[in-house]
Amino acid sequence: MFKRFMQNSKDLISKENSSILSAAAVIMFATLVSALLGFIRTRLLISYFFADKSVLDVFWAAFRIPDTIFQILIVGALSSAFIPVFSRYLEHEKREEASIIASSMINTVVGIMLIFTIIILIWAEPLCRLVAGGFNDTQIALMVNLTRIMASAQVLFGFSSFITGIIQSHKRFLVPAFAPSLYNVGIILGTILFSKSMGIMGPALGVVIGALLHLLAQLPLASKLGFSYKPIIYKHPAIKEMSRLMVPRMITLSLAQIEQTTLIAFSSWLGSGTVTIISIAQQLTNLPIRLIGVTIGQASLPFFAKETAKNNLKGLAKMVNDAILQMLYLALPASVVILVLRIPLVRLAYGAGSFPWAETVLTGKLVAMFALAIAAGSLSHIIIRVFYSLHDTKTPFIINLVSTTINVSLSYYLLFVLRTGILGMAFAITVADILETSILTIILYRVAQFSLREILGPFLKMLLAAVITTISLWVPLRVLDQLIFDTTHTLPLILLTITVMVIGIIVYISVSYLLRIRELEVFVALAKKLGNWRSSLGASTESLENTETPI
């Protein structure tokens, strides 16, 4: 039995995913696991270090410079250039040539990243002062040391991310999907094992351990799939093509990183603990966006591209409308649940003994503000991919530039002129996200000559269902909290949260049925198909890529 179990495990790890459904299911489940570990990681950090809020602020801020380099170079290369070109060579059975191309691309991009890392190591102090000008000298000195450690870890993680791309190009998703969980495991181990002796340097060492685990977990499968790393930089047409494809995506990602870095800089001028609180609030509200928006967006792109290639705008319009409505049907109740249950969710996710009630309430207010943009944040992942399928990368870039300008300007005005505090910055982020998605959607429907009326009616029905669900969540939450559950203890808090969630889901489904929202039928039919999961998972030959980073 043990021998059979081991063989089945090996088959599962190396099995090719042949459908969007199977790949999306793997990535979604892995995202949940990684998110759970991420919450455990954050709760441990709060438990160990929130007593000195300034130290934890420095830890989160220290990620900013290394992560900016990683996002621009590695994510930019993988999402727009490496995977599509590398996959083409695999399709034509040019595996040895593909291996040489992969090695050359890895050495080129990671080599550039290494140069930037050396620059960070040398000029860490002025860079840290630029990013977190509100920190005092003690915090800056600590941030310099943490930044140097994390910059070194990101080089490892950059190399490992290319291994992820290689494995995904072979349509294997299980190992790459769970590798980010090991990244979080490394930080958890670093926190538990080294915090008492090394302080905040313990979790920083855990970042290095996590990056190493992320790499080591994937190397055996990459080798089995035929990849053989070579320390060469080979001039090849594919490298030129990848470099050309990378540039627009890198510029767009640069805007997002400038935005995030500016917000960290603004946060550093506010009270102690601000950087930590806004980071954990975004972590909680980003989960449904990762699960719903990113997954559906990635799964839809191959289909959008196929309809565009056939010049079938009518078919594309129907497909886009269906994808948007299906996404909204899931994202709206997720937004409502997080909005209403914000305090119980914050307490369960981060409520360590050293996380005071005042900080819990403030984090809950931020979560409520960010929750208003969950649907918009999810929708943007679909809209942007429609533009990409139409070979238009310019429009998303321009709108992103406008959104970034609005976000940074409004944040500055609210923080430093009106002095509204951290809630003002959260308001600016939410407004910018909603505006960006709204403008992108309107432009897309005008340029592609789609009809907004096709989605407006169903959207208003969903919005009504979401409003009714909000009431159905809020009333039992208040009643059960006051009369039945003693939420000063963890178990009753969990029971309260689950009970209210179940009530909300039942109400949302019931109202959807009464309003005849078609998406309910779609998901019921999908659930029935999943009952026969073996045949469902093999129904399509499309594949799905994932370029999410663990942090």
Nearest in space to 74 (alpha carbons), one of 149, 157, 168, 152: 157
Q: Identify the weakest region by mean pLDDT among 14-23, 56-65, 74-83.
A: 14-23
What's the confidence (pLDDT) of residue 541? 36
User: For the packed helices 422-447 and 357-371, what is the interaxial angle rounded to 10 degrees?
Assistant: 10
Residue 4 has pLDDT above 60, yes or no: no
The boundaries of the domain holding residue 31 are 8-269
User: For the packed helices 124-131 and 95-122, what is the interaxial angle rounded to 10 degrees?
Assistant: 80
How many structural domains is the chain composed of? 1
What's the confidence (pLDDT) of residue 18? 45
Residues 48 and 62: beta-carbon distance below 8 Å:
no
3-state secondary structure of 353: coil
Q: Letter for the amino acid at 453?
A: R
Residue 2 has pLDDT above 50, yes or no: no
d(CA 246, CA 252): 10
Tell whether 137 is covered by a domain: yes
DSSP 50: G
What's the confidence (pLDDT) of residue 548? 46
What's the confidence (pLDDT) of residue 355? 81
Query: Mean pLDDT, to the nearest integer, of 129-142?
Result: 94
Tell whether 427 is covered by a domain: no
Tell whether 180 is covered by a domain: yes
Tell whether 286 is covered by a domain: no
Tell whether 319 is covered by a domain: no
Q: Identify the weakest region by mean pLDDT among 54-68, 83-97, 476-490.
A: 83-97
For residue 520, name the pLDDT band (cuts at 50, 70, 90). Answer: confident
Tell whether 12 is covered by a domain: yes
Please give the share of the chain, as a percent, with pLDDT higher than 90: 47
Residues 425 and 279: beta-carbon distance below 8 Å:
no
What's the confidence (pLDDT) of residue 352? 63
d(CA 195, CA 130): 28
* Mean pLDDT estimate for the chain: 84
3-state DSSP helix/strand/coil % of the chain, to nearest 5: 85, 0, 15
Largest Cα–Cα separation, the chain: 72
Q: What is the pTM of this model?
A: 0.83
Residues 437 and 376: beta-carbon distance below 8 Å:
yes
What's the confidence (pLDDT) of residue 26? 67
Give the pLDDT confidence of 255-287 residue by residue, as tens digits.
Answer: 888 888 988 999 999 888 899 999 999 999 999
Tell whether 118 is covered by a domain: yes
Give the pLDDT confidence of 147-180 residue by residue, as tens digits.
Answer: 999 999 999 989 998 898 888 777 776 788 788 8
Nearest in space to 452 (alpha carbons), one of 462, 463, 442, 440: 442
Tokens of 408: 């940074």
d(CA 475, CA 151): 48
For residue 59, name the pLDDT band (cuts at 50, 70, 90). Answer: very high
Give the pLDDT confidence of 221-230 residue by residue, as tens digits.
Answer: 988 888 888 8
Tell whether 22 is covered by a domain: yes
Give the pLDDT confidence of 400-417 residue by residue, as tens digits.
Answer: 899 999 999 999 999 999
d(CA 300, CA 320): 8
> pLDDT: is 391 or 368 the higher one?
368
